[in-house]
Amino acid sequence: MTSAGKMFDAVMHLLDRQVLDVDKMPVTVVDDVELSDIPSGRIPPGTPAPVITNLLAGSVLGTRMFGGRPPSSRLNRIRWRHVAELGTALRLNIRGDQLDVLWTERWVRNRIIGRIPGGRHDPE
């Protein structure tokens, strides 16, 4: 993803970093990453190295801290191809509104904050 093959350390430069969408709206923090399948057993020579397929967020933070693994269907994923830039934050090339990760934000917005008078206006 970084064009000139710049080295980066997934633990240092990816995990626990802020993710911003294309409009610089915060989306989440990188709670974990998902790698492409690693073949089990003896790995024959010439097998391509695993690559990062998705950024993960949400409940996976709990299992990252305390061990275990949630069922694959329960993971909130952000596709790696949507990552546009890697800096002091990760920039996506899409709008965060579409992402499953933000369902709690949408829920709180639609059910609570949006219903309080003034919630949809700029501060004065």
Partner 1 sequence: MSGKGSGSLADQATGKSSANLSILGVALGILTAIGGFVDIGDLVTNAVVGSRFGLSLVWVTVLGVVGICIFAQISGRVAAVSGRATFEIIRERLGPRASLLNLLASFFINLMTLTAEVGGVALALQLASSVHYLAWVPVAGFAVWLVVWRVKFKILENVTGLLGLTLIVFAVCLFLLNPDWNHLFNQATRPAVPEGEAPATYWYYAVALFGAAMTPYEVFFFSSGAVEEKWTVKDLSQSRLNVLVGFPLGGFLSVAIAACAAVVLLPAGIGVTSLSQVVLPVAEAGGKLALAFVIVGVLAATFGAALETTLSSGYTLSQFFGWSWGKFRRPVRAARFHLVMILCLLVGMGVLATGVDPIKVTEYSVVFSAVALPLTYIPILIVANDPDYMGRHVNGRLLNFTALVFMVIILLAALAAIPLMLLSGAGA
Q: In the chain, what's the furthest Cα-to-Cα distance?
A: 64
- From the DSSP assignment, how many helices (H) and strands (E) are in the chain? 3, 7
**Between residues 37 and 124, which has the closer beta carbon with respect to partner 1?**
124
Residues 52-111 that bind partner 1 (CB under 8 A): 57, 61, 64-65, 88-89, 104-106, 108-109
Backbone Cα Rg of the chain: 18
Q: What residues are paired with 92 via a beta bridge? A: 83
Distance of CA 75 to the CA centre of its chain: 10
> Judged by CB under 8 A, does residue 26 bind partner 1?
yes
Place of tokens 């980066």: 8
- Which residue(s) pair with 61 in the sheet? none
CB of 76 to partner 1, least distance (A): 12
Of 26 and 47, the one with the shorter C-beta distance to partner 1 is: 26
- Interface with partner 1 includes 22 (CB under 8 A)? no
Nearest to partner 1 of 36, 108 (CB atom)? 108
Q: What is the DSSP letter of 14?
A: T
Binding-residue total with partner 1 (CB under 8 A): 34
Integer Cα distance of 89 and 44 in angstroms: 37
Candidate segments 41-49, 74-82, 114-122, binder of partner 1 by CB under 8 A: 114-122
Residue ranges that bind partner 1, judged by CB under 8 A:
13, 15-19, 25-29, 31, 57, 61, 64-65, 88-89, 104-106, 108-109, 112-114, 116, 118-124
